[in-house]
Structure 1
Amino acid sequence: MHKTLTAGALLALAVAGAPAVAKEPATGANEAKTARHYAALIAGDQPNLAGLTMFFTQMPKGGDLHHHYSGAIYAESYVDFVDKQGFCIDKNSYRIETDKAVIAAERAKPAAQRTCLSGAEVNADENTWRELVKRWSNKDFYNHFSEQIAPDRRFFHTFGYFGPVANDNLREGLQEIKTRAIAENVGYIETMFLLSPFVPNADFDTQAWKNVDDDKALDAAMRAAFAKLDADPAFNKTIDDFVANIVKASDGIDDERFTMRYQNYVLRLLNPSMVFSSMVSSFKAAQKNPRIVGVNIVGQESQHVPMRDYLLHMKMFRFMKAKYPDVKVAMHAGELALGEVPPEGLKFHIDQAVSVAGAHRIGHGLDLAHEANAPAIMKTMRDKDIPVEINLTSNAFISGVAGASHPLNLYRRYGVPYVISTDDAGVTRHTLSQEYVQFASQFKPSYAEVKKTSYASIRYAFLPVAEKQRLTRQLDGRFADFEAAMAALDARAVPAK
């Protein structure tokens, strides 16, 4: 039986195309001490959660590959953005009012009569603030007993509350994400940043729905629609403006401690022409600037339109991948649980994302055990080195899938690569460190596996080889420092009496 390389060495070989099997170098003393310290933290039926929190807060996390920009910003920041833009917040609906005439009329009223409050006024009243943050995030969902909407609705509804200010404060939002990442030793984030431009086309909608099972006719419709969009100066101008907006917002974010890259995304809740044209703009934009490293599709997968049009969307991705083979695709696929949709709806989503759309990474992959082709899916993902992005907090909150019910142990057992990620840490009010705490406490991986997982988030990033190698060297140094600190900490521990 071959021994594996250390995580850093394995990644260096993998990105260079060398074989991934060799003799393991001597394990450093600090790494061994760190492994023993970690093993003590996860031992027994009740892992030391406080100790694991301290451990993972300090441990280097290579990157966060499944990350939504707007869902990563905390409600506290969005309330500040409301005042920055001169808006107000309706204290009955807790939605942001952007109409200048309505805002002016509200401000002319005595304070006691106003129903639309500034962010500062919201912050000044604890009851109002608590009601707002309950709607703009999952705060307090599990620690009280009042009537409330279902958790998946709570989660997805939050975006409608803070949406009016999310995309007008991009630089500030990115800086908040960067600052928080550095504080918890995350070196790289690949964020789903902005919805790509789209245009409606009722004729294409009709053709797409009619010909979803006729590949020849559907491809003809997509070729005609693509040619029209490709030749449209106005549409191409929106793409150029879109790319320029990303560049402007992201200027100055990267430094020697931190790197961020951006995925464009399409919204699977829209009509086919909007989804397709948004894919066209996404792929084109990714060709225009190296900061844009991939394309994704978002929106609650269990809703009617995404379920109805799922195969259609996968065929659209296949079409676009044929035109832009160098553009990477990460795919929300199988973010479904038993009971959310009829059983037959759980049978094919990951399969089609891999076999039809050609996804390079799978986001969530939660319905794996229910997929009709599950063994073959795992073999394909293992053989083609397609990782699954694991989001334990959001899977538990949205779909109620956690611990032994989560398919992570299936992926691990059958050799499918995986990464640990956050999804929407501002909405669910957690961190990447806490995702690792859950991973360690629930699944009991060895320290070697935890460390490999951190490196995997660089290995599977949508980055050029040279960038992966740079971030890997950086991660090597950070782990050396971390393990030295953990060895010193362990030496100071007082033996139990």
Structure 2
Amino acid sequence: MTMKLTAGALLALAVAAQPALAKGPASGANEAATSRHYASLIAGEPKLAELTMFFTQMPKGGDLHHHYSGAIYVEQYIDFVDKQGFCVNKQSYRIETRKEVVAAERAKPVAERSCLTGAEIYADDHTWRELLQRWSNKDFANHGALQPPPDRLFFQTFGYFGPVSNSNFHEGLQELKKRAIAENVGYIETMFKSAPALPNPDFDKQAAANAGNDAALEAQLAAAWAALDQDPGFGKSIAKFVGTVHESAEGIDDERFTMRYQTYVFRLMSPSLVFSSMMAAFKSDLASDKIVGVNIVGQESSHIAMRDYALHMKMFRFLRAKYPDVKVAMHAGELALGDVPPEGLKFHIDQALVVAGAQRIGHGLDLVHETNAPAIMKKMRDEDIPVEINLTSNAFISGIEGANHPINLYRKYGVPYVISTDDAGVTRHTLSNEYVLFASRYKPSYAEMKKASYASIRYAFLPVAEKQRLTRQLDSRFAAFEARIAQFAKTAKQVH
């Protein structure tokens, strides 16, 4: 199934798609003064230091494309290593979890140890810096050592800190909350944890045989769904999973900050594991008011992700029909020219929207290569489906930035968007920095930047009452922010 749009309709779309004004409250003179001050910061060569100060203080409604494990900084993971009594091998930089090995290492003099505690890693500058370059992108662009391609480095980081990222959930969430409050972010919707999965070799064989037969595949999915739905062990694993989310989330929400959780399926697994995990994700969403959506993750250019992409979209279509109240956001089109053969760039966003029914698109980088790009943008505009923009991640992983990034195309044709971080711990940045990059590269008005902040509440997978509460909170924060900036700008003018 595809979408078609004539050249004439495309022209009409381009004319009609004008930037909307901010949806925040009118704050009169303070808002006008803030707008003028901001305009002075992006005029000519952008004043990056002042823009950083501006956006650090500016309220940012939420972060909607956010990975829990990738958001935590290396330093926090090192603390978790010590807390759990593990050590880090200083040759492989991987976490050693076997108690007998850790005990044997700690019995040795420090100078003879090959597996170090956190304090010992910090004391050994060479080991610490080498570890940073494997567990994050630190120093990738400012030194000349041999290093892997950036996309490989990015996706491999999760294997290094994985043994501690899958525990200490509550402490990790508290750290993310503290950091969000410090930079005036009121809401995070994090991709927290993958749902449980069950292998089924027979399912895998059938999926391969039914790849080109939608009716046969639909029957196969229906049979697998019915079997899993009646499987008590599968049901218990889902209940345990939901319990983990609730236990981890205890005490995170308060009057200053709110967090909700997406569960996700890893697209690099066998078809039976993907389908069962996807089904568990949908059922978990219905079982919990903390879980608000389902996603699919994993390097989109990898062999299995490309081979099974259409299959995964059909799985989403099937499960969305079974569970129509579950919200779906989807990594789609996180591809650049050369990542895959050209034909692999032609359909990912299209199928995520038309087949899988995605309600938000993560990244959407390959838009300009997609066969139905004009119709994709029309559908997203008409149906109010936003794209999640991750500028730092897109530049590092895919090499797409500046004029090569499709954000201006989305903006030109009226597609809604939100600004988000992706994996700020791995790429060592903040949501404020994403706003700085957006403002300095594309020079939107203050009204558009303010609208982007409100959009991150508008498009959150939250009940209406919760969105209204967070919007009122954002109104109050913007009023206070604009009053401060108006006074600051006035004082700065007097000094000059």
TM-score (normalised: structure 2): 0.95
Residue 179 of structure 1 corresponds to 178
3-state SS of 2:189 partner: strand
Matching of residue 424 in structure 1 with residue 440 in structure 2: no
Deviates more, 1:453-462 or 1:123-132: 123-132
Q: CA deviation at 1:100?
A: 1.2
1:495/1:403 Cα in 2 relative to 1: closer, same or farther (>3 Å)?
A: farther
After TM superposition, give the deviation of residue 477 of structure 1 in Å: 0.3
Task: Tell me the amino acid that sits aligned with residue 393 of structure 1.
Answer: T
State the partner residue of 1:268: 267
CA distance in structure 1 between the partners assigned to 2:244 and 2:145 by the alignment: 42
| Aligned-residue offset at 1:104 | 1.7
Matched, 1:8 2:7: no
Question: Which residue of the partner structure matches residue 232 of structure 1?
Answer: 231
- Relative to 1, partners in 2 of residues 1:164 and 1:4: Cα closer, same or farther, differing over 3 Å? closer
- Paired amino acid for 2:121: V
Give the secondary structure class of the aligned counterpart of 2:365.
coil
Specify the alignment match of 2:206 in structure 1: 207
Quote how far apart the aligned CAs of 1:4 are. 5.6
Q: Which residue of 2 aligns with 1:287?
A: 286
1:119 to partner: Cα distance: 1.2
The residue correspondences of 1:249-398 to structure 2 (distance < 5 A) are 249-398=248-397
What is the deviation of 1:217? Answer: 0.4
Partners of 2:472 and 2:27 in 1: CA distance = 18
Instruction: Tell me, in whole angstroms, the C-alpha distance in 1 between the residues paired with 2:19 and 2:49.
Output: 33
User: 1: CA distance between counterparts of 2:61 and 2:110?
Assistant: 49
C-alpha offsets along residues 320-363 of structure 1, whole Å, 9 cap, x if unaligned? 00000000000000000001111111000000000000000000
Structure 2 partner of 1:145: 144
Q: CA deviation at 1:8?
A: 3.0
Secondary structure at the aligned position of 2:187 is classed as strand
Runs of 4+ off more than 3 Å:
1-6, 494-497
Paired letter, 1:293: V
Instruction: Report the 3-state secondary structure (helix = DSSP H, G, I; strand = E; otherwise coil) of the residue aligned with 2:265.
Output: strand
Residue 192 of structure 1 deviates from its aligned partner by 0.1
- Post-superposition Cα deviations, 1:30-86, rounded to whole Å, max 9, x if no partner, equal 000000000000000x20000000000000000000000000000000001001000
CA separation in 1, counterparts of 2:209 and 2:431?
43
1:97-176 matches, within 5 Å, as: 97-176=96-175
> SS of 2:139's equivalent?
coil
Structure 2 equivalent of residue 33 of structure 1 = 33
Q: Relative to 1, partners in 2 of residues 1:275 and 1:114: Cα closer, same or farther, differing over 3 Å?
A: same
Report the alpha carbon displacement of residue 6 of structure 1 after superposing the two structures with TM.
4.1
- Contact 2:190/2:259, CA 8 A, preserved across alignment: yes
1:86 matches 2:78 = no
What is the CA-CA distance between 1:286 and the residue it aligns to? 0.2
Give me the whole-angstrom Cα distance separating, in 1, the residues matched to 2:402 and 2:371. 23
Q: Deviations over 1:469-494 (max 9, x none)?
A: 00000000000000000000000114
* 1:109 shift after superposition: 2.1
Query: Which amino acid is the alignment partner of residue 394 of structure 1?
Result: S
C-alpha distance in structure 2 between counterparts of 1:209 and 1:300, whole Å: 21
Give the fraction of aligned pairs with identical amino acids, expressed as a percent: 72
- Cα distance in 1 for partners of 2:175, 2:339 equals 34
Q: 1:111: how far off?
A: 2.0
1:149-207 Cα distance to aligned partner (Å, 9 max, x none):
00001111100000000021100100000000000000000000001100100110111
Counterpart of 2:39, as a letter, is A
Q: What is the letter of the counterpart of residue 254 of structure 2?
A: D
The answer to whether the Cα contact below 8 Å between 2:121 and 2:127 also exists between their aligned partners in 1 is: yes
1:370 alignment partner AA? H
Provide closer, same or farther for how the CA distance between residues 94 and 494 of structure 1 changes in structure 2, counting only shifts above 3 A.
Answer: same
CA distance in structure 1 between the aligned counterparts of 2:210 and 2:298, rounded to whole angstroms: 23
Give structure 1 stretches of 5+ with no counterpart.
Answer: 10-25
Aligned-partner SS, 1:332? strand
Structure scoring higher RCO (CA < 8 A, sep ≥ 6) equals 2
- 2:414 is aligned to 415
Q: Secondary structure at 1:7's aligned position in 2? A: coil
The aligned amino acid for 1:313 is H
Deviations for 1:231-264, whole angstroms, at most 9, x for unmatched residues? 1111100000000000000010000000000000
Cα pair 2:294 2:328 within 8 Å, conserved: yes
Rate the CA distance shift 1:295–1:43 in 2: closer, same or farther, 3 A. Answer: same
Q: Which residue of 2 is the match for residue 20 of structure 1?
A: none
Q: How many angstroms apart in 2 are the aligned matches of 1:305 and 1:468?
A: 38
Specify the code of the residue in structure 2 equivalent to 1:223: A
Gaps of 5+ in 2: 1-15
Q: What CA distance in whole angstroms lies between the structure 1 residues aligned with 2:376 and 2:208?
A: 27
Question: CA separation in 2, counterparts of 1:5 and 1:369?
Answer: 26
For 2:206 and 2:41, the matched residues in 1 are separated by 58
Q: TM-score, normalised by structure 1?
A: 0.95
* Corresponding residue of 1:71: 70
Q: Secondary structure at the match of 1:8?
A: coil
Mapped to 1, the partners of 2:412 and 2:38 lie a distance apart of: 22
C-alpha separation in 1, matches of 2:194 and 2:88: 24
The 2-side partners of 1:152 and 1:417 are apart by 27
- Asked if the contact 2:21–2:447 (Cα under 8 Å) also holds between the matched residues in 1, the reply is no
Aligned mates of 2:434, 2:207 — CA distance in 1: 40
Per-residue deviation, 1:5: 6.0
Mean alpha-carbon deviation: is it higher for 366-375 or for 115-124?
Answer: 115-124
Give the 3-state SS of the residue equivalent to 1:328 in structure 2: coil
Cα 1:404–1:5 shift into 2, 3 Å:
closer
* Per-residue deviation, 1:128: 1.1
What is the CA-CA distance between 1:495 and the residue it aligns to? Answer: 6.5
Q: Which string of whole-angstrom CA distances, capped at 9 and with x for unpartnered residues, describes residues 136-157 of structure 1?
A: 0000001100111000011111
Name the aligned partner's letter for residue 151 of structure 2.
D
* Letter aligned with residue 87 of structure 1: F
1:61 partnered with 2:77: no
Q: Give 1:299 shift.
A: 0.3
Q: 1:477 to 1:162 in 2, by over 3 A?
A: same
Structure 1 residue 126: deviation in Å? 1.4
